[in-house]
Structure 1
Amino acid sequence: MRRREGKTKLQFLQELKNIPPQVHNRWLILGDFNLIYQAEDKNNSNLNRCLMGAFRATIDHLRLKEIKLNGCRFTWSNQQDNPTLTIIDRLLCTTEWDLLFPMCFLHSLPSLMSDHTPLLLQGELDHHHSTSFHFKNY
């Protein structure tokens, strides 16, 4: 079962790598990736370093950066007495997207119904208005 799950995750990562470059490279990808890319993303040492490396390589290949979560450390729990906690829900963006939305923040919301933490993305467009005055004589 684990081998098939790992193969499926590697196929998913390849699909992400195959996303064609866009004319305007401003995009954001978000969701439950069900993957981690660093040991700090999990509260125990049961790690699949091969999948972690593949996820990190995909993020690097697409030149994405993570919008960091405010409010809680982990986004998923198996809800056991001694729980496994991970960050598997993520928002990743291009530098161009980040430049368009520099005042963007990711917050956690409370939930009693889900094993995932609901996430709220808030931000504003960075409007660059010219402050120079131009007088034209007609």
Structure 2
Amino acid sequence: MAMEKVYTAVVTATGGRKGRVISDDGVIDMKTSLPEGLGGQGGSTNPEQLFAAGYSACFQSALLVVAGKQHLRPDPASTVTAHVDLNRRDDGGYALSVKLEVDLKGIDKDKARQLVEEAHEICPYSVGTRGNIEVDLEVV
């Protein structure tokens, strides 16, 4: 499949989970730390939070696209909450899993489920993780 690049995000990490992430435009300049659940002190962001932020924002945009094609306008207070889990595998390695909790206010649950499934087909995060990360879709 041929693709045309439309944007490149550039972020440099120094020090891994106990370091810093800085975007080339300076908008992101954040300290990173181990989550408290992994023995860290917390108080800073971590890769799972950053992934959750990106996935939830991207997925909500995909929802707005599919809803718009059907001439639907979800309530502006609608939300997508991404729960990103860092899981220990049986072999001692780690893997991610995701639950996307979608609240499409003002749209009945059956229609909301349909829109969520359609958004999951076009969201770049969903496309990129398909077959690699377990993603659970929940309509609330």
Q: Which has the higher contact order (CA 8 A, sep 6+)?
A: 1
Bigger Rg, which one: 1
User: Normalization by structure 2: what TM-score?
Assistant: 0.31
User: Normalization by structure 1: what TM-score?
Assistant: 0.31
The structure with more strand, counted as a fraction of residues: 2
